[in-house]
A and B are shown apart, each in its own frame.
Chain A
């Protein structure tokens, strides 16, 4: 599918910061989300994901910087901006004593959906979120998965241009997880979706781009594969060689691109497990194989590509000061 972007991005953050007293929760955050893309917002707990979501949704105002949603500056006209936003907070905001249908009707009215369109809209989101069976039930009687999906349905009402989802799949079972991701994926084809999660697999399958934040700072933003590629210089080669292997460490250290060699006794049998951290882009594993194969009994050689998980841990742990945010 090809999208020609003529409008400004659906979400724009320009050096947005949020301070509470002397504590800076979000620090100088800048990024954009275009229509037709799903951007994953990745970070450990307490990284500032929820605060950022709240700034974009208009629940809290940025202390400095600019947040523009759907062309409306949040500081100037957040009500106009709110018309283009569907927002599912971390804790689904539900009126416990209302039935699902009357709750959705309230949100539809508050979103100024035309009176005649409301029943159709409710039917559409209920079908998308598989809520048909619980429409007449009071919300306090619903299971966690249903509550989460009522929250999502509420956000989808009125087909908002921008969808903000704060951990939308928390509390879902695997079946629901799959369905919910499909709903988000379908919606993301022609809307802007920003989705926060700490599940890396989710970001990999759903998102075109991933933003990694920690301690309120944006550490990286790129496609999942782009982030992995950027990390490739720190990827690893693991091999197993029959012991004893005198001089192996020297041989490996001599191969161009190998930075660091770690030799440990391996698993069953008389085997050594070696872990090499390598620098170079390509072909290092072949060079290692050539250097080792002639002189030693090589059992196994494997190149580990960085997963998004490694990327994430890399960024989050290399982030300077010791972790005090737990």
Chain B
């Protein structure tokens, strides 16, 4: 566990000693703030539903920026050689990095809580629906970051890692739109099941389904396992 903690702390220090974390947080909070103002004050709808929808899309944009450096920067900076020769199991490296990136995402989520304050001041929002939305947001973030971290391990180039992550996340987000084209019920079910977007919509409408929670967690677990295996295979 100490190994994971060491990598985790190093990762966090890396985020905050470079402009990336600040930039990503600023972009995300500004974006969310804008959508929130638009959704609540222009449409007069005192819920977070539309804002969560926008946050999900913003997350697709922001995740590649957060995850692209995780391994690509280690290759580029020559520090992979240190990391892989310290007494650390590959899974400890993967877990430490992942937790570091997730902490940034958590900080972003906490930052958006400020938007809820006016909802409670001027209306009576459904707390459980908002909680479900945040749960969905964090789960979506967990799956996305794991995919981004895997992509970052596959290339030395941070830009390539970001583009690869963006492409995969977009595909997972919009795959649900293909379902109306499918003639076989099985493919319809599959495209719906694989969709990051459709599962997320359930959460922001206050519907917490075990199946959806499991889906995001399984995607994250698969990506992180592949990540660990790739590091081992690389030796």
Contacts and interface: CB of A to CB of B under 8 A. Distances in A.
Interface of A: 54, 57-61, 78-80, 82-83, 85, 87, 89, 91-98, 102, 106-107, 109-112, 138, 154
B104 to A, nearest CB: 15
A82 B13 contact: no
9 contacts: A57-B81, A58-B85, A59-B84, A82-B86, A89-B82, A93-B79, A98-B10, A107-B86, A110-B6
B185 interface: no
B10 A96 contact: no
Given A106-B6, A109-B9, A93 B82 contact: yes
B87 interface: yes
A82 B80 CA distance: 14
B156 interface: no
A111 B86 contact: yes
Closest 10 interchain pairs by CB? A93-B82, A109-B6, A97-B17, A82-B87, A93-B79, A110-B6, A110-B86, A61-B235, A57-B85, A83-B87
Contacts of A78: 235
A111 B3 CA distance: 8
B49 to A, nearest CB: 39
B88 A110 contact: yes
B9 A98 contact: no
Nearest to B3: A110
Interface in B133-169: none
A98 B78 contact: no
A99 B162 CA distance: 27
A97 to B, nearest CB: 4
Interface of B: 2-3, 5-7, 9-10, 13-14, 17-18, 77-89, 235
Given A58-B235, A93-B77, A110-B3, A82 B85 contact: yes
A79 B88 contact: yes
Nearest to A98: B13
Given A93-B82, A110-B3, 16 more contacts: A54-B81, A58-B84, A58-B235, A59-B81, A59-B84, A60-B235, A79-B87, A79-B89, A89-B81, A91-B81, A92-B78, A106-B6, A106-B9, A109-B2, A109-B9, A110-B87
Given A89-B78, A110-B7, A95 B85 contact: no
Residue among A89, A95, A111, A138 with the highest chain B CB neighbour number at 10 A: A95
Contacts of A61: 235
Given A61-B235, A95-B77, A112 B2 contact: yes
A91 B82 contact: no
Contact of B82 (A83, A96, A97, A154): A154
A32 B233 CA distance: 27
Residue among A60, A83, A110, A154 with the highest chain B CB neighbour number at 10 A: A110
Contacts of A106: 6, 9-10, 13
B27 to A, nearest CB: 20
Contacts of B6: 106, 109-110
Nearest to A50: B81
A106 B86 CA distance: 11
A119 to B, nearest CB: 15
A32 B77 CA distance: 31
A58 B234 CA distance: 11
A99 to B, nearest CB: 9
Contacts of A87: 81-82, 85
B75 to A, nearest CB: 11
Nearest to B86: A110
Contacts of B79: 93-95
B14 A59 contact: no
B99 to A, nearest CB: 15
Contacts of B13: 97-98, 102, 106
Contacts of A111: 86-87
Contacts of A109: 2-3, 5-6, 9
Contacts of B10: 95, 98, 106
Nearest to B16: A97
A79 B6 CA distance: 16
A93 B81 contact: yes
Contacts of A54: 81
Nearest to B82: A93
A78 B83 CA distance: 13
A110 B89 CA distance: 10
Contacts of B81: 54, 57, 59, 87, 89, 91, 93
Contacts of A92: 78
Contacts of A83: 87
A95 B9 CA distance: 13
A112 B87 contact: yes
A96 B3 contact: no
Nearest to A61: B235
A109 B9 CA distance: 10
Residue among A57, A58, A59 with the highest chain B CB neighbour number at 10 A: A59
